[in-house]
Structure 1
Amino acid sequence: MNLAYDILGVAARRFPADVALIGDWGQLTFEQLETRVASVTAGLERLGVRPGDRVGYMMNNLPEIVVAYFAILRLGAIAVAVNVMLRPVELAYVLGDSGARVLVCEPSVAQTAVTAKAEVAVVRAIVVVGGASGGVTPFAELERPGATAGVADRHPDDVAMLMYTSGTTGSPKGVMMSHAWLDFTTSAWISVYKLCRMDRMLVASSFFYAIGSIMEVLAPFRVGASAILVERFRARAALDAITRFRPTATVMVPTAAVQLLEEYDAERDDVSSMRIFFTAGGPCPTGFPARARARLGWEAREIYGLTEAHMVAVAAIGTPVREGMLGVPGGNLQVCVVGEDGREVSRGLVGEIVCRGDTVTSGYWGRPEETAASHRDGWFHTGDLGVMDADGYLKVVDRKKEMIIAGGANIYPAEVERVLATHPKVAAAALVGIPDETYGELPVAVIVPCPGAAAAGEEIVAFCRSALAAYKCPRSVIFVDELPLTPSGKVARRQLKEKILAHQGG
């Protein structure tokens, strides 16, 4: 039994001639994909990889990333997702923490990989797609024609993959995803999407993220649907792929969705094939669903979840969308909102979102203390604050750790940032709490102005006061050229706060 690999293996037996992957590079049927996977599995064995070993993959959405991923699973090893934006020190941390024996990567990050390998003794080999430089193994060496390897048996509770969190509040942690977890979660996403064999999923998110892999490739494969690979997201490239390949479904992070909407050209782009459109990975800007419906004809639905817990709230296809609310729990997930004492609060009150069910991770790789801290009394504590209405629909208010307490009043940055984002001169915004002797903390807005726009701090504060209670409004405004981001594209709030304090001499 190998539940994770069977996501491909079963599709190859049931739909051998159906297209599995397609892109500007060409296409692969399920049978062709499995043949390549079996060959690369044999290549990994020749490198000394054994069941239970960790193997990293660090590529944009090339077909080889899917081949490598399933080869790792077929061998019974553990697939470690690695962001291509990591620098050598960050990569060395992930490789060392996971104990990866091999890293498979693309040429653009080969030097980063070689530099990181020098700092991590456990790494045996760097495999590069198309690579031939010194110190690396070309991917072609793994994929010898005619070579093959069998499918390793794995227990459903064995770890199949590790996906590292972005580490906004500390060092990144490897979220463990078991074979049973992947089996159940991909099946649950099929129910959310109402996917069928005739669907074609646009993979607009990177495969090293949960959206790009689990939600946009693995789930479609379960029903024999195709995945359309966009090598790296650019709004124009995504729109061209939609027009050319006619996808019926996609999931995008809100930033990408907004960029696509702004790039859309009704004279050039045909987006009429899309019937399933979700955003995930962060809150959607106010008014975006209405704009998407008006310009693209798409009904935008939001997904709220974490790397550690999928589909905490989602408005599945066929269920009503409520303005201001995300949706209800998906799969068999149980969700409730609790107070500081761990007891469920009354509906309509703010508390921490906790959940339990088969789409929740068993914990963090090699971190029993942090696993115990997040899994308490049978519930996974998300660290997010939310509200649940009488019908079980959930709304996320903010991150618990990002909440600002000014003079005893709770300020949720996400709420203020949504208002700031609607100002016509604001391109991007973040709200952080700065220590204050009198109030404990004071909210400070950090603004990236739109090109050519000249906005004054007083104007921004006055704009907020027109929509928010006075205590929520920023006490001061700082203008910057760009906001520091984590590898997953979220605002690095701790780094931003440190820069402000350093500038103030605090």
Structure 2
Amino acid sequence: MTLFRTPIELGTLFEDLAGRGSATTVHLSRPMDIAPGLGTELALPRLARLAAEASGWLASAGTRPGDRVAIAKRNHWDYVVLSCAAARIGAVPVSLSAHLAPDTLAVLLKRLDPALLVTDAALLAAGREAGADPSALAARTVLVDGTAEGVLGLDDVRGGAIPAPRRAAPDAPLAIMHTSGTTGVPKLVVHSSRTIMRRLAGFEAHRWPVLGSRPDDTVAGAVSFAHGRALAWTASVLWLEPARLLAVTSGDWAEAGPFLLRHRPTTLEALPATYVRWQRRTQEPGHPFERVRLFISTFDAMHPPTVRAFLNGTRHRRPVWMQGWGQSETGPLTFRFLTRRAMAPEHGRHPTTRDLGRPVPTRTRLRVVDARTLRPVPRGTPGLVLCRTKALCLGYVGEQERWRAKRTGGWWNTGDIGVLTRTGRLLFVDRELDAIPEGSCVELEDVIDDRVPEVQECVVLSVPGRPSQPVVVTEDGALDPAAWRRAVADLPPLADPVVTTWDTLPRTGTGKVRRTVLRDLLGHRSDPYGTGRWT
């Protein structure tokens, strides 16, 4: 039996869990692309064998210790299995979202120069059609679902010997993932065993009150499994041995709804955009969120009506929403617990989710500085948010100078504008690039979202020299003009709203709106107020 207090080895994660005798079962909303014959319910010993077998596939494809293995395919939890397989033979897994445009994916692959690309037929065909063949940018390519000219299929690499596992050096590159890319080409973030497994997953793998998974929990994740969060989430959840782990591979209710109804989670972590898409389901009788005691959100800002809908939709007596704020480079930096009472509107007050809480105790420190001088500003004054954390990534692949430029005397520049209160809480204002002189885009979006029930999402874009431009998403692309005028009457001047539907907004793989792209689509090509220097 392997006796680790916390999960510290990515390559042998499933073997270590199976060795502990963990009885957690993993349930998938659809079979894995790399092993569809295994179905949708897997015990940890079978997952351990699959990860070991997959390490043999990668070795048969010519992968050696230290090589980079790029993984780019449609969203599924098997990103995690493949990452474990690569780390098991001493290679460095690189998770790349299938949502990346072919030319963007090509840029990242050129920076990586991977020894192996693991992809699927749809992504390969899309890249070749766009003139950006991803297989041309890797030494070798393996398709997980079929065959194609010039590449290997899984049948070509199966059946080889399973290599002995290799232990990663604590501070060597372990895994690479990309940032959201809301403002351009994503950065490639390098993490080590010490930063992502010990400091991030290891911290979460304690039985903290409220947050820690319990033996009778059914823990659901509906996230981008191409994101680094998937590695820390999987390791920390499984280490605490809940009854079930649910991996929801799509926000599409046709897939997610029946799956969640069948298993009825008790804790749920989902992308903010997924919560918004599912919000109206909380009003349906017998919806699958009635047992949830803990909701978790990361990746992006949440608006109060969405948080309120889920907290009020569960039958649990004291449900909690844990809102985390951080970055791919740092992991979580602050957290705040939201309750029904905290989210209830009272006497015209609009409860805010912009209060991001306090730094993670003993783990992170925050400082707010002037954007021009980088000198600390008094408490209560907006400025750039800097942080200190031992979980900071090792750098950016192909852009190490860019990474160094974001470090100031041991502090990391997040590129966010915020306010540290006298009590040490952080109030989020905006990304520096998206800042507006009349206040906060996010605050305006919160208020509009609260005042106009038919609004699914509101995005306020800065337009220098003119009123800021709201873009409003509704179910049918329609909006009552009178209701809009009433909602914004006491707000700073805004341009007439552009009203659209959900699928028309350009988004990242984690559901964030790509504001720079949206600005261009609307013809607002003038420079924003922010510099974007620290993005």
Counterpart of 2:40, as a letter, is G
Q: SS of 1:287's equivalent?
A: helix
Question: Residue 491 of structure 1 corresponds to which residue in structure 2?
Answer: 513
**Residues 11 and 371 of structure 1: is their aligned pair in 2 closer, same or farther, counting only changes over 3 Å?**
same
Verify the 8 A CA contact 1:20 1:29 in the aligned structure 2. yes
Give runs of aligned pairs for residues 352-501 of structure 1, distance below 5 A: 352-405=384-437, 410-422=438-450, 423-436=452-465, 442-451=467-476, 453-456=478-481, 460=484, 463-466=487-490, 468=491, 472-480=492-500, 482-501=504-523
**Residues 215 and 327 of structure 1: is their aligned pair in 2 closer, same or farther, counting only changes over 3 Å?**
farther
Of residues 325, 344, 351, the one that matches 1:304 is 325
Deviations along 1:223-244, whole A, 9 cap, x unmatched?
3344212232223533433332
Residue 72 (structure 1) aligned with residue 86 (structure 2) = yes
Shift of 1:160: 1.3
- Extract unaligned runs of 5+ from structure 1: none
Residue 335 (structure 1) aligned with residue 366 (structure 2) = yes
Give the distance between the partners of 1:449 and 1:263, measured in 2 at CA. Answer: 16
Verify the 8 A CA contact 1:337 1:354 in the aligned structure 2. yes
Residue 142 (structure 1) aligned with residue 157 (structure 2) = yes
Shift of 1:399: 0.7
Verify the 8 A CA contact 1:7 1:222 in the aligned structure 2. no
Give runs of aligned pairs for residues 29-48 of structure 1, distance below 5 A: 29-48=43-62
> How many residues are treated as equivalent by the alignment?
488
**Residues 321 and 449 of structure 1: is their aligned pair in 2 closer, same or farther, counting only changes over 3 Å?**
closer
Residue 224 (structure 1) aligned with residue 251 (structure 2) = no
Question: Residue 94 of structure 1 corresponds to which residue in structure 2?
Answer: 108
Shift of 1:350: 1.7
Name the stretch that deviates more: 491-500 or 65-74.
Answer: 491-500
Shift of 1:77: 1.1
Residue 58 (structure 1) aligned with residue 72 (structure 2) = yes
Give the distance between the partners of 1:168 and 1:63, measured in 2 at CA. Answer: 23
**Residues 418 and 54 of structure 1: is their aligned pair in 2 closer, same or farther, counting only changes over 3 Å?**
same
Verify the 8 A CA contact 2:180 2:508 in the aligned structure 1. yes
Q: SS of 1:151's equivalent?
A: coil
Verify the 8 A CA contact 2:124 2:135 in the aligned structure 1. no
Shift of 1:156: 0.9
Q: SS of 2:396's equivalent?
A: coil
Verify the 8 A CA contact 1:240 1:269 in the aligned structure 2. no
Of residues 217, 236, 241, the one that matches 1:199 is 217
Q: SS of 1:241's equivalent?
A: helix
Question: Residue 272 of structure 2 corresponds to which residue in structure 1?
Answer: 254
Question: Residue 141 of structure 2 corresponds to which residue in structure 1?
Answer: 126
Counterpart of 1:256, as a letter, is T
- The CA RMSD measured in Å over matched residues stands at 3.0
**Residues 334 and 503 of structure 1: is their aligned pair in 2 closer, same or farther, counting only changes over 3 Å?**
closer
Give the distance between the partners of 1:393 and 1:400, measured in 2 at CA. Answer: 19
Verify the 8 A CA contact 2:28 2:248 in the aligned structure 1. no
Shift of 1:447: 3.1
**Residues 446 and 67 of structure 1: is their aligned pair in 2 closer, same or farther, counting only changes over 3 Å?**
closer
Q: SS of 2:446's equivalent?
A: helix
Deviations along 1:170-212, whole A, 9 cap, x unmatched?
322101111111222002223462124543321211211234x
Verify the 8 A CA contact 1:76 1:154 in the aligned structure 2. yes
Q: SS of 1:434's equivalent?
A: coil
- Extract unaligned runs of 5+ from structure 2: 1-6, 31-38, 344-350, 527-535
Give the distance between the partners of 2:111 and 2:168, measured in 1 at CA. Answer: 23
Give the distance between the partners of 1:313 and 1:294, measured in 2 at CA. Answer: 24
Question: Residue 351 of structure 1 corresponds to which residue in structure 2?
Answer: 383
Give the distance between the partners of 1:253 and 1:430, measured in 2 at CA. Answer: 17
**Residues 29 and 448 of structure 1: is their aligned pair in 2 closer, same or farther, counting only changes over 3 Å?**
closer
Shift of 1:136: 3.1
Residue 7 (structure 1) aligned with residue 13 (structure 2) = yes
Shift of 1:114: 5.5
Q: SS of 2:430's equivalent?
A: strand
Question: Residue 34 of structure 2 corresponds to which residue in structure 1?
Answer: none
TM-score normalised over the length of structure 2? 0.82
* Higher normalized contact order (CA 8 Å, seq sep 6+, divided by chain length): 2
Verify the 8 A CA contact 1:404 1:433 in the aligned structure 2. yes
Give the distance between the partners of 1:287 and 1:63, measured in 2 at CA. Answer: 29
Aligned-residue identity in percent: 24
Counterpart of 1:453, as a letter, is A
Q: SS of 1:100's equivalent?
A: coil
Give the distance between the partners of 1:448 and 1:267, measured in 2 at CA. Answer: 25
Give the distance between the partners of 1:210 and 1:280, measured in 2 at CA. Answer: 12
